Amino acid sequence: MKHTSINRLSFIFLTSLALAACGGGTDDGVDKGGAPTSVDATLATLPLETLSPSETNTLLYMREEEKLAGDVYSRMDALWGHSAPVFGNIMLSEATHTDAVRQLLQRYGLPDPAGNSGVGVFQNPDLQALYNQLVTDGSVSLIEALKVGARIEELDMADISKHLANVDNQDIRLVYESLLRGSRNHLRAYYQTLLKQGGSYTPQYLNQAEFDAIVNSAMERG
């Protein structure tokens, strides 16, 4: 099987950025990135393995799902960023996540479903409908926007965990696990900000015990 080659250093650099963005935090609980990890060195030693149909499907889906998160946060930042910088800060982290998945697509010679799509435009009809609903919900108030952020991070965690069960390629697992760690940090940030705003949140995709274990633990570093 032939694969489209890419600049390995570019892939490693972007993935390292994604991982770094997933760790650390500030006193206000907003994820703003952390120290670089040793993942760049690890990726350099990993082989380019044959993709299974399941792995192909997860990569294509995750590319658009990560784009959805960044696009929604961009809209929420425009609406509520003056009151809550959490949207803008996490939006920057999501950009590195999206690039990391895009580079995996390039690494394996797969078409990019996001391509040159504009903000809020998706090939997957389910993600398109979800984006439209989340933007509508988050436009109501800052409290509702923070709930939207928490919901997106929950969904990301649920989907990534499901995908990991069907992925054995080492480089894909490494990136997915970093995205999972990032989503836990983002959920903590949104939940902490929501509480400070006097709001509350009921988990949508995680059970209560899983949710509590995440939001009551410290920010993670890569």
Q: What is the pLDDT along the chain (222 residues), one digit of tens a residue?
A: 434 333 443 333 333 433 334 444 443 444 343 323 444 556 667 888 999 999 999 999 999 999 999 999 999 999 999 999 999 999 988 888 888 888 899 889 999 999 889 999 999 999 999 999 999 999 999 999 999 999 999 999 999 999 999 999 999 999 999 899 999 999 999 999 999 999 999 999 999 999 999 999 999 986
Q: Which domain holds residue 168?
A: 8-22+51-215
Q: Which CATH number fits the domain that encloses residue 120?
A: 1.20.1260.10
Using alpha carbons, list the distances in angstroms from residue 202 to 17, 148, 197, 211: 31, 11, 16, 9
- Compute the distance between CA of residue 137 and CA of residue 174 in angstroms, rounded to an integer: 33
Counting the structural domains of the chain, the total is 1
CB atoms within 10 A of CB 62: 25
Instruction: Answer for the pair 114, 21: CB distance below 8 angstroms, yes or no.
Output: no
**12 part of a folded domain:** yes
